[in-house]
C-alpha cells in the first residue's frame, strides 16, 4: 500500500510539473521550448502532452525531435566509409543534419513558416517533411540537447567495448569535434531547457528495451535484444556525462525514479525555474 501511495503521489507531481511548464510557456510567451533526456526518459510523451494542452488554448504548436534530423541511411553509409564504420548507425553527434536544425530554428524565431523533417526509426531512414506551417511555439526534444564536448583526458577513457575497437579513438574524436563545432553553438537557441534525469545508465537501457518492445507491438518490426544492446552502446559516453551534470547553460533538471516519475519538488515561485535571460 505504501508503494501505491508513493506512485499516486509521484503521478500527481508529474501533473503539477506539467502545469508549471505550461504556465511558464504562457507567461513568457516562449517561441522555443526544449526537452532533453536519455533514451526512454519520457521526452516524446511530455512534448506531446504539452502540445495537446497548448493547442487547446489556441496556440499553434509544432513538435520535432532531434532524431528527425538524422542523416539518411545512404548519407550515414558515406560517413562510415569516409570517417569510421560505426557512423553508419544513427545516434551520435555528427549523424544529424545539424545545419538544417539551425536554419529551422532561425526561420521560426523570425516568424517564418517551416517544414519539419521526419525520420522513421522502423525504416531507419528519412521520410517526407511535414507541410509548411507557421508556429507560435516550437517544442524540440532530443537525447543530447545541451551536451558538452569532453576534454582529451576524458575522451581517452574507454566506457564500453566499442572504445576498444580498432581506430575507435577516431570515432570518438569525430563526435567530440562535431559536438563542439556544430551542436554546442545551437544550445543558446534551445532555451529554456528541461533535462529529464534518469537514475542511472542501467535504467536507460531498460527504458530503451521497453521502447523497442512498443515499436514491435505497433509496427511489427524492430531490433532483437542482442541488436538493441549493441545499438545503445554508442549513446553511453555522452549519456553518462550528462547524468553527471555535464550540461550547457542552466537547465531545469527534473529527477526521475525507475518508473519515470518526477521526484523533484515543485517550487512555490515559478520565476525561479529559469533566469529571465533564458526566455
275 pLDDT tier (thresholds 50, 70, 90): low
What pLDDT, on the 0 to 100 scale, is given for residue 276? 61
Phi and psi at residue 22, in whole multiples of 5°?
-60, -40
The residue behind cell 539518411 is 72
Where does 118-258 have alpha helices with state H?
Answer: 152-155, 168-178, 201-219, 225-232, 236-243
Residue 1 clears pLDDT 70, i.e. is over it: no
User: Among residues 100, 120, 111, 98, which one has the least CA distance to residue 138?
Assistant: 111
What pLDDT, on the 0 to 100 scale, is given for residue 2? 29
Beta strands in 47-107 (DSSP E): 61-65
What pLDDT, on the 0 to 100 scale, is given for residue 213? 83
Residues sharing a CB contact under 8 Å with residue 117, sequence separation 6 or more, in sequence order: 64, 68, 69, 97, 100, 126, 129
pLDDT digits (tens, 9 = 90+) for 66-88: 999 999 999 999 999 999 999 99
pLDDT digits (tens, 9 = 90+) for 198-253: 999 999 999 998 888 887 788 777 788 888 889 999 999 999 999 999 999 999 99
pLDDT digits (tens, 9 = 90+) for 2-21: 233 333 345 778 899 999 99
What pLDDT, on the 0 to 100 scale, is given for residue 218? 81
Q: Which domains does the chain have, with CATH numbers?
A: 31-266 (3.40.50.300)
pTM of the entire structure? 0.92
pLDDT digits (tens, 9 = 90+) for 118-133: 999 889 999 999 999 9
Residue 260 clears pLDDT 70, i.e. is over it: yes
pLDDT digits (tens, 9 = 90+) for 22-53: 999 999 999 999 999 999 999 999 999 999 99
pLDDT digits (tens, 9 = 90+) for 91-120: 999 999 999 999 999 999 999 999 999 999
Degrees to nearest 5, angle at CA 178 with 177 and 181:
80
Amino acid at each position: 500500500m505504501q508503494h501505491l501511495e508513493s506512485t499516486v503521489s509521484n503521478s500527481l507531481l508529474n501533473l503539477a510539473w506539467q502545469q508549471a511548464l505550461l504556465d511558464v510557456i504562457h507567461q513568457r510567451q516562449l517561441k522555443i521550448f526544449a526537452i532533453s533526456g536519455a533514451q526512454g526518459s519520457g521526452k516524446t510523451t511530455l512534448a506531446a502532452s504539452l502540445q495537446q494542452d497548448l493547442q487547446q488554448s489556441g496556440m499553434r504548436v509544432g513538435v520535432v525531435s532531434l532524431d528527425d534530423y538524422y542523416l539518411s541511411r545512404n548519407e550515414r553509409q558515406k560517413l562510415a566509409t569516409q570517417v569510421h564504420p560505426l557512423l553508419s548507425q544513427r545516434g551520435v553527434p555528427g549523424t544529424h543534419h545539424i545545419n538544417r536544425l539551425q536554419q529551422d530554428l532561425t526561420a521560426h524565431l523570425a516568424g517564418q513558416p517551416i517544414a519539419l523533417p521526419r525520420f522513421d526509426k522502423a525504416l531507419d531512414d528519412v521520410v517526407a517533411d511535414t507541410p509548411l506551417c507557421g508556429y507560435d511555439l516550437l517544442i524540440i526534444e532530443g537525447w543530447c540537447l545541451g551536451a558538452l564536448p569532453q576534454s582529451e583526458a576524458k575522451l581517452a577513457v574507454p566506457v564500453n567495448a566499442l572504445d576498444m575497437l580498432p581506430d575507435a579513438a577516431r570515432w570518438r574524436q569525430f563526435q567530440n569535434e562535431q559536438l563542439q563545432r556544430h551542436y554546442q553553438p545551437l544550445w543558446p537557441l534551445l532555451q529554456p531547457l528541461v533535462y529529464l534525469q534518469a537514475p542511472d545508465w542501467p535504467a536507460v537501457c531498460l527504458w530503451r528495451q521497453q521502447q523497442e518492445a512498443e515499436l514491435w507491438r505497433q509496427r511489427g518490426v524492430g531490433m532483437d535484444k542482442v541488436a538493441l544492446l549493441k545499438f545503445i552502446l554508442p549513446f553511453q559516453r555522452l549519456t553518462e556525462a550528462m547524468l553527471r551534470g555535464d550540461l550547457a547553460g542552466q537547465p531545469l533538471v527534473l529527477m526521475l525514479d525507475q518508473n519515470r516519475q518526477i521526484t523533484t519538488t515543485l517550487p512555490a515561485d515559478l520565476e525561479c525555474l529559469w533566469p529571465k535571460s533564458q526566455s
